[in-house]
């Protein structure tokens, strides 16, 4: 695909018309500037977005967020909606890490009074198992795991006392998708997830201690409890092995049923089934259970963060470590848009509802939903607020990060983990990562410029900047 | 010739190309490549007992992805690397029987979530067999 195949329809908006390919059922739009667009045109990302536009029941338009890059099946940063009840649901449109997401905690701790943050970062890394194995802090009996899968965060907060009631108001969907059915989750998935609750995992997952560096919108920042110079903690993880196995199971199942439903796809990883078919309903129930597991995972990590902070800073009360919001960025959700019931697939994309949306808690009714755009461990992250225009422009979505621009192999060719560790520490960032290789793979230069990405998100009317956060401590798996 | 593998460039995930003289050799090499991702093995520890595995798939290429996902799931549950394979038999083009043996991993390092069907290739390449698999990381 060439640059000339896209039509510039507005500032930061480019479109590939439906007529571009005979099998497309909707046009494709991407939000980018010329430089980000150039990056999208390298590799398969655009081609993959056009493939998404062939899914049965896809409606209006499919969207590529400013951080879009090549994935498998769906591109990372792809958003598509299918008409309910007969349009399809695609496990590949959610991804293996179901409800991978981000949550931000604020504290009243002023950076300038804290001195060396090494003990804090060290204690956090000890309390939050980072590796890919199963070292979770909570042993769950089978019935308790079912409680997690069926009830999500409310189960941990209300039944186990692991969190505060106000955490639930500030979690997307209250931390629970009610369609969850643990019976649709395979035993293998449960075995993979057993012992992983409260663990971060590896890859690009992290817990980051940050400083609120700059406010762009003071009233919105105030509604989120963000004050310049204060410490925050950003948590990025998902549903671990349990979610990975749910996706594996249902991609395989739906791939075997494509002929039954007369579905032809340009990429088998887009395998799907009508949402109202037995396979579609089963997947939506299993996906919801895995999403609930992921919310519980981030909730349990939140509890660990609170314990560490209140131990190291005894004057701090648990309720002062406030959850700003928790958003999913790999999920399929049944939503109403313009009076139409649709299944919105967000693969590497964040929900970004604007002010007044009935699903937002009272705290954010005027501000819009908090949206987090982590950059990289060496640069910074943005807190944004969803805009009402996102409803018409992206099914109420925005991007989920800066997006990779370099492969892991290429990153490792440019820097060693030890070098990078020294560079970050010289820049005042405390690093805890057991693997030098894993650290090098996530080098800041392997990601796109988060400033540019945030500018495009705002220019496109998806979300507006509220605050910029600067990393002070990074814990990686 | 010895089986071979090579990591390919991919911006977000892990893409690997495998070569072997026979299709069976390709499946064995795939298991070895996956096991190497799990992490270091402690020296001197006895391996587990041999376990029998059967995998059936929709077609021959997806059999490779399903085989890898079977091993990946077992590995993660037991924190074991299944790099040893014997008596591997391919039937009807989309069915596999084999015996595998795991070893405990000292420090689990794999960041692989699953083998995908995206861009999956398996077939003859000149005198050898070749496969391309993309893993989600």
Average pLDDT over residues B80-102: 95
**What order do you get walking across the sheet with A13-16 strand by strand?**
A7-10, A13-16, A28-31, A62-72, A74-83, A340-347, A330-337
Task: Report pLDDT digits (tens) over A361-373.
Answer: 999 999 999 999 9
A:B CB pairs within 8 Å = 97
- Would you say the ipTM is above 0.90? yes
Closest residue in chain A to residue B68, using alpha carbons only: A248
Question: pLDDT tier at A458 (50, 70, 90 boundaries)?
Answer: very high
pLDDT at B98: 98
- The token pair that represents A420 in the structure block: 């990078």
Cβ neighbours, 10 Å, residue B9: 11
Q: Do B117 and A271 make contact, defined as CB atoms within 8 angstroms?
A: yes
Measured distance CA(A327)–CA(A186) in Å, rounded = 26
Task: Report pLDDT digits (tens) over A404-432.
Answer: 999 888 999 999 999 999 999 999 999 99
Is residue A437 pLDDT above 90, yes or no?
A: no
Spell out a b/e string for A195-227, using b for 16 or more CB atoms within 10 Å of the CB, else e: bbbbbbbbbbbbbbbbbbeebbbeebbebbbbb
Of B11, B76, B117, the CB nearest to A269: B117
Q: Do A241 and B117 make contact, defined as CB atoms within 8 angstroms?
A: no
Task: Report pLDDT digits (tens) over A106-132.
Answer: 999 999 999 999 999 999 999 998 765
Is residue B6 pLDDT above 80, yes or no?
A: yes
Closest residue in chain A to residue B7, using alpha carbons only: A409
Q: Are strands B14-20 and B4-8 parallel, antiparallel or unpaired?
A: antiparallel
Question: pLDDT tier at A134 (50, 70, 90 boundaries)?
Answer: low
Q: What is the mean pLDDT of chain A?
A: 96
Task: Report pLDDT digits (tens) over A74-104.
Answer: 999 999 999 999 999 999 999 999 999 999 9
Task: Report pLDDT digits (tens) over A228-268.
Answer: 999 999 999 999 999 999 999 999 999 999 999 999 999 99
- The token pair that represents A53 in the structure block: 């536009």
Is residue A133 pLDDT above 70, yes or no?
A: no
Sequence-ordered strand ranges (E) for chain B: 4-8, 14-20, 51-56, 80-91, 95-104, 114-115, 121-125, 128-136
SS3 content of chain A, % helix, strand, coil (to 5): 40, 25, 35
Q: First-to-last CA distance in chain A?
A: 36
- The token pair that represents A267 in the structure block: 């990429």
Is residue A217 pLDDT above 90, yes or no?
A: yes
Residue recorded with tokens 């993309």: B134
Is residue A33 pLDDT above 90, yes or no?
A: yes
Q: Do B11 and A438 make contact, defined as CB atoms within 8 angstroms?
A: no
Which range among A51-60, A281-290, A434-443, B117-126 shows the weakest confidence by mean pLDDT? Answer: A434-443
| CA proximity to A440, closest of A411, A476, A406 | A411
The answer, as to whether pTM is greater than 0.90, is yes
- The token pair that represents A415 in the structure block: 């820097």
Measured distance CA(A411)–CA(B12) in Å, rounded = 11
Is residue B109 pLDDT above 70, yes or no?
A: yes
Determine contact, residues A200/A477, Cβ cutoff 8 Å: yes
pLDDT at A131: 60
Measured distance CA(A147)–CA(A155) in Å, rounded = 6
Q: What is the mean pLDDT of chain B?
A: 94
Is B59's Cβ below 8 Å from some Cβ in A?
Answer: no
């Amino acid at each position: 695909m060439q640059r000339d195949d896209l039509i510039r329809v507005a500032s930061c908006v480019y479109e590939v018309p439906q007529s571009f390919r005979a099998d497309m059922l909707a046009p494709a739009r991407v939000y980018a500037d010329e430089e980000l667009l150039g990056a999208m045109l390298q590799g398969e990302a655009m081609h993959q977005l056009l493939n998404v536009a062939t899914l049965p029941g896809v409606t209006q338009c499919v969207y590529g967020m400013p951080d879009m890059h090549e994935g498998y099946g769906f591109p990372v940063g792809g958003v598509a909606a299918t008409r309910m009840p007969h349009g399809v649901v695609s496990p590949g449109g959610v991804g293996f890490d179901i409800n991978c997401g981000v949550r931000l905690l604020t504290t009243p701790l002023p950076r300038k009074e804290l001195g060396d943050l090494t003990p804090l970062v060290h204690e956090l890394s000890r309390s939050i198992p980072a590796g890919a194995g199963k070292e979770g802090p909570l042993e769950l009996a089978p019935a308790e795991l079912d409680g997690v899968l069926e009830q999500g965060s409310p189960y941990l907060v209300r039944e186990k006392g692991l969190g505060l009631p106000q955490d639930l108001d500030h979690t997307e969907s209250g931390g629970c998708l009610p369609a969850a059915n643990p019976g649709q989750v395979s035993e293998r998935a449960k075995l993979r997830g057993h012992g992983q609750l409260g663990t971060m995992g590896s890859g690009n997952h992290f817990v980051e201690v940050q400083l609120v560096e700059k406010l762009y919108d003071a009233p919105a920042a105030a509604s989120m409890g963000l004050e310049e110079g204060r410490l925050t903690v950003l948590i990025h993880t998902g549903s671990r092995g349990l979610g990975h196995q749910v996706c594996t199971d249902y991609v395989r199942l739906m791939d075997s049923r494509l002929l039954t439903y007369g579905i032809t796809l340009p990429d088998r990883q887009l395998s799907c089934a009508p949402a109202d078919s037995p396979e579609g309903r089963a997947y939506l129930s299993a996906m919801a259970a895995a999403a609930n597991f992921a919310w519980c995972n981030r909730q349990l990590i939140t509890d660990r963060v609170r314990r560490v902070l209140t131990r190291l800073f005894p004057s701090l009360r648990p309720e002062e470590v406030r959850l700003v919001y928790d958003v999913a960025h790999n999920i399929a959700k049944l939503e109403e848009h313009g009076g139409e019931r649709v299944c919105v697939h967000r693969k590497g994309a964040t929900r970004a509802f604007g002010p007044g949306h009935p699903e937002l808690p009272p705290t954010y009714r005027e501000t819009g939903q908090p949206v987090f755009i982590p950059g990289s461990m060496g640069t910074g992250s943005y807190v944004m607020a969803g805009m009402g225009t996102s409803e018409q422009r992206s099914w109420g979505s925005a991007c989920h990060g800066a997006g990779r621009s370099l492969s892991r192999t290429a990153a490792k060719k440019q820097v060693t983990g030890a070098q990078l560790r020294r560079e970050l520490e010289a820049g005042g960032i405390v690093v805890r990562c057991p693997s030098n290789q894993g650290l090098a793979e996530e080098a800041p230069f392997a990601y796109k410029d988060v400033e540019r990405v945030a500018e495009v998100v705002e220019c496109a009317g998806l979300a507006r900047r509220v605050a910029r956060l600067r990393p002070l401590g990074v814990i990686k798996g | 010739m010895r089986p071979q593998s090579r990591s390919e460039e991919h911006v977000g995930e892990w893409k690997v190309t495998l070569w072997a003289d026979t299709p069976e050799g390709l499946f064995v090499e795939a298991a070895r490549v996956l096991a190497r991702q799990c992490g270091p093995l402690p020296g001197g520890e006895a391996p587990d007992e041999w376990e029998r595995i059967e995998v059936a798939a929709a077609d021959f290429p997806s059999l490779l992805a399903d085989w890898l996902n079977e091993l990946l799931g077992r590995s993660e549950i037991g924190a074991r690397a299944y790099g040893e394979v014997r008596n591997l038999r391919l039937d009807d083009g989309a069915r596999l029987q084999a015996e595998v043996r795991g070893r405990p991993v000292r420090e689990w390092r794999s960041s692989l979530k699953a083998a995908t069907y995206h861009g999956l290739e398996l077939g003859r390449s000149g005198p050898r067999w070749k496969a391309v698999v993309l893993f989600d990381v």
